[in-house]
Amino acid sequence: MRNIYLAGCSALLLLLAACNNAEQKTVNADSLKVIAKPIPGTPIKYDSSKRYIFLTWDDSPQPPGTVNCKQVFKEQNVKATFFSVGFNQVGPFKKRLIDSIRNEYPQFLLANHSFSHGFNDKYAKFYSMPDSAYSDFMRNEKELQIGVKIIRLPGNNTWASNGVIHGQKAENKLVKRLDSTGYKIIGWDIEWGQNGKQKQPKESATEMAKRVNQKFDDGSTFEQNAIVILSHDRLFEKKQFADSLNRFISILKQDPRNVFETIDHYPLVQRK
Ligand SMILES: [Zn+2]
């Protein structure tokens, strides 16, 4: 009887040891996963024979446009950046959408487009109140848990990095403060704009791809061999326009020189 009892105890101890071991292995695998997770902003090496394309889509979360754009980018397996607005993140679905963008780096990058979208599109007021506007960007960074110091100004095409500022707002106090505190401000080379008041893109996919090629051929992009394309998620709400976005990317992919990257890998952002 005693032997059986002892045998039982040993079996139990062996079982406990095995469980412990298994747990240990899981923990190790998990910590490896954490270490291996890519970090936004990591330096990349440019290939001078390539043309770098930065798709930068503004004002998310705005479903169903944001959902469609993400899906197209995923199907096409291209990288893109979402400049997001905390004010639009209302309710659990929109929060999950922002979480999914943040968590899907390196394919997608979540960046800062202010919390209130420039005091609800009141740009003159926004840019005349630099302290409040600065706090608005900081609030957005915190609430959306944005991991990079990369900003697009609402309603304004301005670039800033390391004290070098270009664009309409070059003399603005907010821009100078953002720049001096290490933020990179990203403008755009071309915009796939809205067709009047309709929520749809102005140009066809073919026209847009032509404009991209023209801009590279002219050498008139802000940075050499790199183009920043601006558009808005909401323009691609309807299926036919999501298809147009799909076509646009398919055309660009036919040129082997084209590489799609997230904006943390844009030369101005990478330059120390
Ligand atoms: Zn915007």
Cα of 234 vs centre of ligand 1, distance in Å, is 11
CA 34 / ligand 1 centre spacing (Å): 33
Sequence-ordered alpha helix ranges (H) in the chain = 2-36, 65-76, 92-103, 117-121, 123-128, 130-143, 173-180, 205-218, 239-253, 267-270
pLDDT in tens, 71-115: 999 999 999 999 999 999 999 999 999 999 999 999 999 999 999
Please state the length of the chain. Answer: 272
118 Cα to the center of ligand 1, angstroms: 9
**What pLDDT digit, counting tens, does each position of 9-63 carry?**
455 444 444 444 444 444 555 555 556 788 999 999 999 999 999 999 999 999 9
> Which residue type does 146 have?
I
What's the CA-to-centroid distance between 87 and ligand 1, angstroms?
Answer: 12
What's the CA-to-centroid distance between 213 and ligand 1, angstroms? 25
Cα(255) to ligand 1 centroid in Å equals 30
Asked whether 256 and 51 are in contact (CB, 8 A), the reply is: no
Whether the CB-CB separation of 260 and 80 falls below 8 Å is answered with: yes
Q: Identify the structural domains of the chain with CATH numbers, from first to last.
A: 51-270 (3.20.20.370)
- The per-residue pLDDT for 12 is 46
pLDDT tens-digit readout, 182-194: 999 999 999 999 9
Give distance in angstroms: CA of 18 to centre of ligand 1. 55
Cα distance from N-terminal residue to C-terminal residue, the chain: 76
Give 83 Cα–ligand 1 centroid separation in angstroms.
Answer: 8
CA distance 174 to 155: 14
pLDDT of residue 35: 62
| pTM (predicted TM-score) | 0.87
